[in-house]
Amino acid sequence: MCDPWLDCGVCHFCWSAIPNRKTQIRFPQQHSSPQQQQQQQKQSKGKKPSKRQSTVMVFCNDKCLEDYGAPVADMVCHVEGHIRRLWQANPASVFSTSIDTNTDTNTDTNIDTKHQGQDGSGWQKRADRALHLASSREQLVRLSDQDMGEFLNLVWSSIDMWVAEQLVLDCTLARTTNNTKKQKKKMSRDVMFPSIAWSLLSCAQPDLASRTTDDNCEKLRLMAEALYRRQYEDGSPRSTETQATFADYCAMQSNEVTVIREALKVEIQEQEDGAIGGDDHAERSLRALVALLPTCFQEVLYVYLRLRDALYLMRGESKQGNGVDDSSSVVDLEVDHSAFRSMLYKEIANSFGIRDESDELLGFAVFPRACFFNHSCDPNIQKRRDIRELPCVVGADGKGTTVRRRTMAFYAARRIEEGEECCISYGDISADRAERQARLQEMYFFPCSCARCEREA
């Protein structure tokens, strides 16, 4: 996951630098169908090419593209293309003026209050339970890890249920317009999730949209790939002995509670905690919860809604028969808060830096089966990305070929005594103790108590 990977000389499969960029395989431009090429030409007509809007993936050669999977690359690029589409500054107002609901109620308020259900929505009950646990940032930061986890689960589940209600509302609004059926559906799809984001995040910082999209697009690309591969894990021809599974990913430690708690501490110190505002109870329930949580949560929620928006639009395209792939399962991906949070917060503090032969950092990758080593400033294990070509027998004829594996290899750095824990270093350990401790606390959320740190203390 690295921004230059959007269009540069690093292979997306084996993560090796491509010496001659003219030899690289660019996907999907060179591998799209005639219909896709026509559609791309129509979309790009009269527009300036923009690197930030590019959805290119590059590979060393056809072998790397084949190993990664052209259908996966096609789907990932399509998801990213939707994620990078421009959202209006205030989509809620666009939503209310574009679709005439024949009511005098502003859509922004309508979304929060008018469509809750007669017996009180499930999301509202969960939001109330969350507010019962903590109604201020000071209370929230003092919660135990277990209660903090419950609080976050209540917040996310209430948001998911509220979004589901808006999708039902979306269909209702589309039927009440005076436009044609096709126009109703298109307008409704295009502004649905931007309107939801504006309604939930009106308390967020004004530069949230511009800052969040580019910073997190690579993580969304990773999530799209993981969601796709999860569908086919059981029938995948890849050997589970060499290919990590979605279950392996979910087995990693989540750092969500720690990230939220540390961010809260910082923001409480920097500014005085504001009171919960708003006269309407439903508005208080959701918006107040979002306002209680730190800015990093608001950014994550915004990213989540971008991903939901992309998958929502792709399902609409699939139903109209103009999706990028004939297989409906490819464009019918879905994500809920549980899978999203698992992929996001388990990557944090569990990913490995990917470096080339000259030790230049290219990006980050997740090796689920290799993330269980603890840290030591005097490690007895060295880690190295292994990109050797290894023999692999394929086919009934027994003929062999070679494959390039994306693996992390570990070697003993010195004699390891029986019963001694095997530890690696989390980054540079050449600095003094104070600098090492500060970096580990900031990036990995723990103070180091290894033998070297105790000795230097």
* Residue 446: pLDDT over 80: yes
* Residue 420: pLDDT over 90: yes
**Are 327 and 396 in the same domain?**
no
* Residue 298: pLDDT over 80: yes
Q: How far apart are CA 73 and CA 58, in angstroms?
A: 10
Provide mean pLDDT across the span 287-302.
88
Do the bridges between strand 25-27 and strand 381-386 make them parallel or antiparallel, or are there none, so unpaired?
Answer: unpaired
Residue ending a domain, among 32, 53, 68, is 68
Tens digit of each residue's pLDDT (9 = 90 or more) over 239-288: 445 567 788 888 888 899 999 999 999 999 887 544 444 444 444 578 88
Q: Output the pLDDT for position 115.
A: 38
- Rounded to 10°, the helix 295-320/181-200 angle is 170
What is the domain count for the chain?
A: 3
Q: Output the pLDDT for position 456.
A: 94
**Are 392 and 449 in the same domain?**
yes
Q: How far apart are CA 248 and CA 343, in angstroms?
A: 11
Can you name the residues that pair with 409 across neighbouring β-strands?
Answer: 384
Highest mean pLDDT among 168-172, 235-239, 368-372: 368-372
Q: Is 81 a domain residue?
A: no
Contact 61, 157 (CB under 8 A): no
Tens digit of each residue's pLDDT (9 = 90 or more) over 170-212: 665 555 555 555 555 555 678 888 888 888 887 555 566 666 6
Provide mean pLDDT across the span 295-314.
90
**Are 286 and 343 in the same domain?**
yes
Higher pLDDT, 285 or 5: 285
- The DSSP secondary-structure symbol of 28 reads T
Q: Is 86 a domain residue?
A: no
**Are 95 and 63 in the same domain?**
no
Closest CA to 340 of 117, 160, 213: 160
Q: Output the pLDDT for position 32.
A: 47
Q: Is 352 a domain residue?
A: no
Q: Output the pLDDT for position 418.
A: 95
Q: Is 362 a domain residue?
A: no
**Are 59 and 95 in the same domain?**
no
**Are 199 and 310 in the same domain?**
yes
Q: Is 358 a domain residue?
A: no
The band of 61, judged by pLDDT with boundaries at 50, 70 and 90, is confident
Q: Is 359 a domain residue?
A: no
Q: Is 356 a domain residue?
A: no
**Are 256 and 382 in the same domain?**
no
The band of 165, judged by pLDDT with boundaries at 50, 70 and 90, is confident
**Are 195 and 265 in the same domain?**
yes
Q: Is 366 a domain residue?
A: no
Q: Where are the alpha helices (DSSP H) in 178-294?
A: 181-200, 208-231, 246-250, 256-270, 281-292
Higher pLDDT, 20 or 349: 349
Contact 155, 301 (CB under 8 A): no
Q: How far is CA 284 from the centre of its chain?
A: 27
Could you tell me how many residues make up the chain?
457
Contact 47, 40 (CB under 8 A): no
Q: How far apart are CA 390 and CA 56, in angstroms?
A: 28
Domain that holds residue 101: 91-347
